[in-house]
Structure 1
């Protein structure tokens, strides 16, 4: 089936949605595992570690491989694997079997994201912020649809209802497999354009990218801390039911999806780093209101600006990383969407132990401190460099060699 080029931006967004459904569902499943399987807060955070960290460590490797040679079939395999792991949680009793299942989903996600982000960059044209925000919002929507599917499945079929999470992933993997020839063509065009720009003097800013990566590490801690511990805060501190606590992740995901769309478009107009800084600054007062308030209504309302402020910075961070490393777009995607963005998964078990020992409000206070450091760090990150102009003759010569 032949589609228009611009349609593939939407296809990559939907692929991202399906790749992230299972991962997005995990925070909503955790309260059920705590209540029905008897796992501790630290063990619940350990599952977040398995999802976020194991796969993300190898994600830059997959990104570097994509820069050298595109393999669209890896995106298909990644989506398929992401649907296989967490969907099995309801059938498992052993904690380490759960850990392995979640890690399997994490590896599948690592396969998809670098090539997916690279492909979204190629089909976006000049409006990289908008293109990456469209791609990124697929992940946000996956985080929204995942909890709803999980809660629906568990409510109707018990914990074995987690199996429903595999359906959209399997369907999208099959569809993308039918499009691999066209996607390989887009990747080849992008590689030719990069080679011509390198010949014209295009260089990578590794120092600036390192600063951006450090801020993204901190932002990841805030993001995963929020999605992991807000549902548990609702259950343990605000004394809400398992199901109602799980729906907080859906609110966070939908608000984050809207903000991701806005963030990329604002970045194209106002500058990438200006949008990143604004989002991090606004996050702090929103979290403080939730910490101090014990009124469920107000706290629930504040979830919306909390999620929107943090996700305002996500797609500009990914697009800025690709602009700082224009010769290694796949690697930049693997780091900003994988390794750095999943750093919170490494920290979450530590925060879980703090929560077990000192209570969940202490965990949220730690997140406030992390947000302050991230705000300060964002002022040291450079904005996007000017694109190198490639002479038509140079680009034609590059295409001939390919």
Structure 2
């Protein structure tokens, strides 16, 4: 297996008199990095997938489950911007296989963990692996995107969302019959991921030699002070939108199966299938979100992904079992369609800081989701799961904040350093 090298791409582009990095989309690299994203996030999804098993075998309460979710998400989130900042200053392709090696270690420790503390240590390693992968993976996607950034980011992110959607199936097919030790099988997935990452790292190293990152950094540094303050405000609004989406997705992914068990008397496996509908539809939404944003505008897509989910989210807590499945699938598709778009939007707000910004946005998605899981778990222990799910249904209403973001036309002006 090999990818087009940067030098061969440059030669072909030179013959056509176009800049290779600016125009050429390298789908082989995009599909490979998306595959590794699937590996990474499917192993990360092992953590919520094993919640019902750990709750029973270790006699955990919802708050303790929330701490596990918080640990992996916080570890991933707090490290991502720092790794992204480091890689922007000193790109290091070797970080790709190193990150997957962290995940391999986490899976091994999780399979063998005999105590609650040991589980927390295992998920720290998985979180570190995720934190290392995402900023560098996003930079690989950016370098291979050519002039189709929305599509490229969607291809990259759909691998991750597809991996996350596997959590309910993992519970049903692996952890219910085999218990916690079933995690041992994912060490093989991690080993395969390391091999693919070695190939990607080789291409990445060659591509960096042909990418004028220094010029992009200079563009970002020349933005006038008054423009920087407006960009900072836009970034705050974007982070708030990520906050809203992350808390809502976390409420469904971490706890909705427990709500279905309590409300409809479903078994663990059957309840997890409904969560799978939500997450799998979200993966599909992620793929279509990028191309739709390229066509209809990034801010428009971000707004529609929140506004379109509002009435359905408000109905969900009161639906019967049939409509619960239908609504979960539709909500998952709509609300997650903006996932890759928010990353591209943030990259355009701060050009030349691809790793840092990607790490910030995806890191916050993990981190805020982890904080949400912890807070929601505590609330569930206090007032019950149904009232908390009803409260979460109002979160998409905050999508109205999207109107405070600059339009795509203004965003393009800011990206080019033009005055507002």
Structure 2 CA distance, aligned partners of 1:32 and 1:370?
A: 29
Contact 2:2 2:199 in 1 (8 A): no
Contact 1:216 1:341 in 2 (8 A): no
CA distance in 1, matches of 2:97, 2:301: 33
Check whether the contact 1:27–1:249 (CA below 8 A) recurs between aligned residues: no
Return the match for 1:108 from 129, 143, 154.
129
1:370 aligns with 2:391: no
Q: Could you tell me whether the CA contact under 8 Å between 1:129 and 1:316 is conserved in 2?
A: yes
- Show the counterpart of 2:58: 37
Determine the structure 1 residue equivalent to 2:33.
12
Q: Quick check: 1:379 aligned with 2:400?
A: no
How far is 1:344 from its partner?
Answer: 2.0
Which sits farther off after the overlay, 360-369 or 253-262? 360-369
Contact conserved, 1:20 with 1:82, CA < 8 A, in 2? no
The superposition leaves residues 207-257 of structure 1 with CA deviations (integer Å, 9 ceiling, x where unpaired) of: 322221222122211121221111221222222111222233322221011
> Which of 265, 268, 271 pairs up with 2:297?
271
Tell me the TM-score normalised to structure 1 length. Answer: 0.90
- Change in CA separation of 1:389 and 1:98 when aligned onto 2, cut-off 3 Å: closer
Distance in 2 of aligned mates of 1:176 and 1:130: 21
Structure 2 length as normaliser, TM-score? 0.86
Equivalent residues of 1:45, 1:352 under 8 A apart? yes
Map of 1:301 onto structure 2: 326
C-alpha contact (below 8 Å) 2:30/2:152 kept by paired residues = yes
Q: Tell whether the 8 Å contact from 2:29 to 2:200 is kept in structure 1 after alignment.
A: no
**2:47 is matched with which residue?**
26
Measure the CA separation in 1 of the matches of 2:68 and 2:244.
Answer: 20
State the partner residue of 1:120.
141
Q: Is the 1:143–1:249 Cα contact (8 Å) retained in structure 2?
A: no
CA distance in 2, matches of 1:95, 1:381: 43
Gaps of 5+ in 1: 391-402
**How do 1:215-230 residues align onto structure 2 when only pairs under 5 Å count?**
215-230=241-256
Structure 1 residues 102, 200: closer, same or farther in 2, change over 3 A?
A: closer
Residues 146 and 72 (structure 1), Cα distance of their counterparts in 2 relative to 1, 3 Å cut = farther
Alignment partner of 1:82: what SS?
helix
Instruction: Check 1:199–1:55 CA distance in 2 against 1; reply closer, same or farther (3 A cut).
Output: closer
Q: Are residue 350 (structure 1) and residue 350 (structure 2) matched?
A: no
Count of matched residue pairs: 388
Unaligned runs of 5+ in 2: 5-25
Change (3 A) 1:93 1:247: farther
Q: How does 1:92-103 map to 2 (within 5 A)?
A: 92-103=113-124
Q: Does 1:89 align with 2:105?
A: no
Find the counterpart in structure 2 of residue 244 from structure 1. Answer: 270
Shift of the alpha carbon at 1:85?
A: 1.9
CA distance in 2 between counterparts of 1:18 and 1:169 reads 7
The Cα shift of 1:179 comes to 3.7
User: Over residues 20-77 of structure 1, what are the superposed CA-to-partner deviations in whole Å (9 max), with x where a residue is unaligned?
Assistant: 1122232222122223321111111111101111221111000111111111211212
Task: Kindly state the Cα deviation for residue 259 of structure 1 after the two structures are TM-superposed.
Answer: 0.4
Provide the residue aligned with 1:2 in structure 2: 2
Q: What do residues 364-392 of structure 1 show as CA deviations (whole Å, max 9, x unaligned)?
A: 1222233222x1222112244227679xx
Out of 76, 94, 103, the residue aligned to residue 55 of structure 1 is: 76
Shift of 1:335: 0.8
